[in-house]
Amino acid sequence: MASTEWTYDDGMDATPAAHLVGRISALVRALSTVNEAGAGTAELARATSLPRPTVHRLLASLAEEGFVDRDRRSGRWFLGPELYLLGGVAGIRYDITRHARESVHRLAALTGESAFFSARRGDETVCLLREDGDFPIRSFVLYEGARFPLGVVSAGLAALSFLDDTEIDAYLASRDLVDRWGPAHAPDAVRERIAQTRIDGYAVNPGLVVEGSWGMAAAVFDHAGQPAWALTVTGVETRFRAERRPELGALLLREAHALGRTLKTGAGARR
């Protein structure tokens, strides 16, 4: 007799199936954040707060379908070829990076800093593009594929700041940013930065993730007026002095507004 643990009929409680999907999603997202060295089972268990046997069982099942891959010698896990194929198909509809690439390039060229394009995915931002400027000292907090909760890096702060107040309240009530990111990410401190972001139009992260590594970002809005993406520049603290920040902010806002108009009539309108 087949197990009913993860199956349900119309009208029945879907919680077990949703629970399984949530675990798999968390696992795949955690695996997407590691570098080319892959991740071990124990490492993924810590990242997802799931029991190690559960993580191993899910990974083994995903490997059978080609969604993850495992190096036989090291035992480390990687995203699998099936995700690459599926991503290529999804990219036809959702790839907006081709529209953003010119903005990122201009920001890097004009500022000399590292420039980025990120997308909001639920309660996170995901970095999709990076281009380095010609200034020789760089920050490596952000990289393509990096995920951060809203309100942490400048891209996430820019996106969070322009949500409705009710959404912001619900988010800050449900997430503990202090445990991972420190007291500077307590709700009251985040609210102060949200208020300043709304005044300036752009967000500033004064080295709160890595000391001395600053970031500034402007939200890019979709056709519904929601902060769906963000453009960012990052660099060392000395490159973000008070007298230069308005100039950087103006560049970010100009590119964000132009990109938003493009995305509303291009790939972004199909989200």
- pLDDT tens for residues 170-183? 999 999 999 999 99
Other Cβ atoms less than 10 A from the Cβ of 136: the count is 7
Give me the phi and psi of 78, to 5 degrees please: -140, 160
With a CB cutoff of 8 Å and minimum separation 6, the contacts of 31 are: 39, 44, 68, 77, 78, 79
pLDDT digits (tens, 9 = 90+) for 242-253: 999 999 999 999
With a CB cutoff of 8 Å and minimum separation 6, the contacts of 54 are: 23, 45
Helix or strand or coil: residue 68?
strand
Across residues 100-128, what is the average pLDDT? 94
* Cβ 103 vs Cβ 231: under 8 Å: yes
- Which two tokens mark 47? 């990242």
